[in-house]
Structures are given as structure tokens and as C-alpha cells.
Chain A
Amino acid sequence: MIEVANLTKRYGATLAVEDLSFSVERGEIVGFLGANGAGKSTTMRILCGALGATSGTAKVDGIDVMEDPKAAKSRIGYLPEAPPLYLEMTVRQYLRFCARIKGTANPSEAADKAIGRVGLASVAHRIIGNLSKGYRQRVGIAQALVHEPQLLVLDEPNSGLDPKQRAEIRELIEELAAGETTVLLSTHVLPEIEALCDRVIIIDHGRIVAQDAVEALGGGMGVIKLVVAAPSAELAAKLEALDGVNAVKAKGDGVYLVETQRDLRAEVARTAVDAGLLELSSQRQLEDVFLRLTGGAA
């Protein structure tokens, strides 16, 4: 569905995206992960035709975005970081307008359908400028899917939403992807990616540093937090001796952080049980991978 090859974008002397290549299959949900300024938005904007690339190609459904922008864009629904809303219009007017410029056969019907899908029926007649941030974000998403595109590109669809709204948006994206829709979404909220995505692409300073299935990337790498009643140097040594443990840090008060290469919770528990194991928890593994790859690790 998406084929990006050797994409480079330069702003003056700054290199925003450097030689980026990746592809996304039809029906996949792929998460774009990276720190602020890593080049996520730039890549998405190039893919959606808002920005020209310095070099390289971006294809959607086999169509080059630069060569045949109209055909490519009619297949894409794009939600920018800031939802592009005309605040003086009502939700329904706005979505009808979007449906018209995106070339749907029946704009009113398409708008009503999008309103239903995103749960905007109760505010459809209201002026967008008077809506809360959560509703505005939903109008932005409705705009992206009003022409039922094959590909949804969502730039931080969850920013500024409360947990309930996040869960709703997540459900909506899952529902869309259960159909034929391909989804590329960016976020820096890691649990979102783990909950939603089949695959993650991690970028840093405009370059891809890892791309794989969520499980494979998480792959047991992580940190196990351990609390024991009777801490001792002997315990630390025993833990360190386990196969697959990288390091053990004693944090005092019986708290240990055990860095592991794979899932070692069972082994660690067995070792620590004699020292009076009180608590064992596994920290977010993806987060760890992310920090390690983007050089943000402590």
C-alpha cells in the first residue's frame, strides 16, 4: 500500500528526513515512533502531498505521489498534527465541504456516514469553533475518512485527548483496520502503539533505526523491577549470574532493577524467592527499546 524509497527532505542546511525507505502492506496498522522532531510529521506530509521531497519517491497503491498527486491523494485520508478545521462552519457543513473537494459522488451522504462512524451525531449542527478539543479531534478524523480512503495517515490522533476518548479513537482505528483500510499512525505514546499496531517503525534524526513487529521488537528485552524483604549482595550476584541478564542495579530499600535480554520473570522470581520476594513487575519493554535506539537511555 505504501512504498517509500530513499526519501530525503532538506530544509536549508537541516536534514529533516534522510534516506528513508519502508513499505506497508494493505490492511496493516503501522506505528511511527520517534521523539519530537525526529521526522515523523515531515515523512507523513510528504506521503500526503503537502510537502515536496528533496529526493526519493513515495508511492501509495503503486501511484507516485509527486507524479500523479490527484490520484494518490484521493486514496489517502490525512489527519495533520493540528486538525485543519474551519472554525466558523458547522460540523456537517465542514464535512460536506471536505467530501466535495475529495471528490465523493454524494457529499451529503458521505458526510452523514462519517458523522455516524466517529460519533459526532450529537454535535453535527454545531459550530466547530465552539466544540471541545476532543470533539475537534474527532471532526479531524471524520475529515480524514469522509471519502473512505484505502489509506489513513494519522499524525498523533490521540494528542490532547482524555483516556476515555483515547480508548474510543483506538476502537475506531481497530474497526477501520479490520476492514481493508491501511493505517499509518504516529505517536509518542508507547502503550498506544503496543495496543494498536501490528508493526512499528522507529525513527530518530530522520533515519529509521528499527522496524519490526511489536512483539519482536519488545522481544523480552526489558527491565524487571524487584522488591525483596532481605536485600543482599549475594542476591545481586545470583541474579547477575542468570543466563540472559545484562545488569543488576540495587536501588536501596530492597529494590533491584534487572536488565534482561529476554523474558526472565520466572527465573528471576525463583532466584529471589529465598530473599523474601515481595513484588515483581516488568517495565514496558517497547519503551526500553525505544530509549535505547534513540539514544535517550539513562
Chain B
Amino acid sequence: MRALAIAQRELSSMFASATGWLVLTGFLAVAGLFWSLSLAAYVDYSQQAMVTPYLASQLDMTEHLISQYFGSIGILFVFICPALSMRLFAPEVANRTLELLLTSPVSTADIVLGKFLGALGFTATMLFATAPFPLMLWQWGNPDLGAFVTGYLGTLLLAGALLSMGMLASAFTRSQIVAFMLAIAGALILWVLQAMGTDSWQAELAVVPHAQDMWRGIVRLSDLTYFAAFIGFFLFATHQRVEAHRWS
């Protein structure tokens, strides 16, 4: 319950800051641009498909539009999540407000979980604010509802992974800029790893590919396990780091 109080405060402080609204507005603008581009490409493709029977057999709204939609948001999250997670611990240490949390009757697990959920709540708000884009598909077509459900799940898991990693970075420094740089370096490395070839273990570590199947409507146990292990590891590491504040 007390973790929820911390999550709520975190969420409302994002909305109380100019940064929060700036990130939200910028995200919606760019996501809207991506959406109209992929919609235009899909319209082009389907017009060609009318005269080319082979293309028509390949035309798939889930494959060519819905997964594009989630893919573009996922890429934006690689850059946005570090900007959100940098605020989680660094300013609390710099302004000495962490002292309030550490001396209140809440456990360190409550603090870490609350902050994580607050940041995840903000990304969920951003994500669902884009819902009107795909909703317009029902006006003209019959998109696969399941792909949307798994797509949103995959995107949230991706955001959770990026945020948990950024939260650890934020717990290591009192500077938000340093926290941001560390988090974005981590996010970019985990993104670029997918270029290491499809069968290598390095590519298995890459974070975005584990969300990709969910964007196409496929949920694999291995992907869910990956995200659970990833987020669990970074939440635990952050817990240990915050606990170490008592000993420094």
C-alpha cells in the first residue's frame, strides 16, 4: 500500500513538471508523425496490391501496420525512458529527500517498487494516449484485436525493462544528466546487440527483439521470461544500491 503512495507521488510529480508535459507532447507529436507515415505506406502498398495478385496475398494489416505502430513507439521509448528514469533517485539524493523515505516506516522494496510503478504508469499514460491512432482502423477495416493486446503488453514490458535499468543508473549518482547518459548508453547497447547475428547469445540479450513478436501478436514464454528476469534483476540491484545508502 505504501509503495502505491510512492508511485502516486512519482506520477503526479511527472505531471507537475514542465519536463513531464514536454516529454508527453513531444512523444505524441513524433508518434503521430510515425503513424501517418506508416499509414501512408500501407495505403500505397494496398493500392499496388489491387493490381498485383502476389502482393495482395502478402498484404497483412498486423504485419505491415500494427507491428510498425508498436515498433516506432518502442524505438521512441529507447530514448524517452532514460529521460524519465533519471528523475527517480538522483534528485532525491541531491535534495536529501531520500532521507525522508529512508526514515519513514516503509521498506526499501516499497520505495524501489513504488518508484518503478510510478514511472511505468507515466509511460503507460503516454502509450495509451496514442490509442486514437489505431482506433481509427476500425472505421475502415477489421484489425486483429489480439495483436493490439499483445502489442501493448510487449511495449509496456519493453518500457519496464528500460525504466528498471535507468532506475539503477539513477540510484548511482546525484546528477540527473549522468543518470540519463548511463541509462541511454545501456539502452543503446542493448538495442544494437541485435545486429550481432540471429543465433549469437549476444543477440539474445538484446531487448527490443523480445518485444517484436508481441508486436505481431505472438506471445512466447521465452520472451516473457526474459522480461521478468531483466526487470527483476534491475529492481533487485536498485534495492541493493539504495540499501547501501545506509552504509555510506
List the interface of chain A (C-beta within 8 A of B).
45, 48-52, 69-71, 73-74, 76, 78, 80, 82, 84-89, 93, 97-98, 100-103, 143
* B131 part of interface (Cβ distance < 8 Å): no
Given A80-B96, A84-B98; 15 other pairs, CB 8 A cutoff: A52-B247, A74-B105, A76-B103, A80-B99, A84-B96, A86-B95, A87-B95, A88-B16, A89-B9, A100-B2, A101-B6, A101-B106, A102-B104, A103-B2, A143-B100
List the interface of chain B (C-beta within 8 A of A).
2, 5-6, 9, 12-13, 16-17, 95-107, 246-247
Q: Let me know if A98 and B104 touch, CB within 8 A.
A: yes
Residue of B nearest to A103 (CB): B105
Secondary structure dominating the interface of A: loop
Q: Let me know if A101 and B101 touch, CB within 8 A.
A: yes
- Measured CB to CB, the closest approach of chain A to B187, in angstroms, equals 26
- Measured CB to CB, the closest approach of chain B to A209, in angstroms, equals 27
Which residues from B are CB-within-8-Å of A85?
95, 97
Which residues from A are CB-within-8-Å of B16?
88-89
Which residues from B are CB-within-8-Å of A51?
246-247
Between-chain CB contacts (< 8 Å), 23 pairs: A45-B103, A49-B103, A49-B246, A50-B246, A51-B246, A51-B247, A52-B246, A70-B105, A73-B103, A73-B105, A74-B105, A80-B103, A84-B100, A88-B16, A89-B13, A100-B2, A100-B5, A101-B2, A101-B101, A102-B104, A102-B105, A103-B2, A143-B100
Secondary structure dominating the interface of B: helix
Query: What 10 A-B pairs have minimum CB-CB distances, sorted nearest first?
Result: A84-B100, A100-B5, A74-B105, A73-B105, A84-B97, A48-B103, A70-B105, A101-B104, A52-B246, A50-B102
Which residues from A are CB-within-8-Å of B102?
49-50
Measured in the bound complex, the distance between the Cα atoms of B99 and A17 in whole Å is 20
- Measured CB to CB, the closest approach of chain B to A89, in angstroms, equals 7
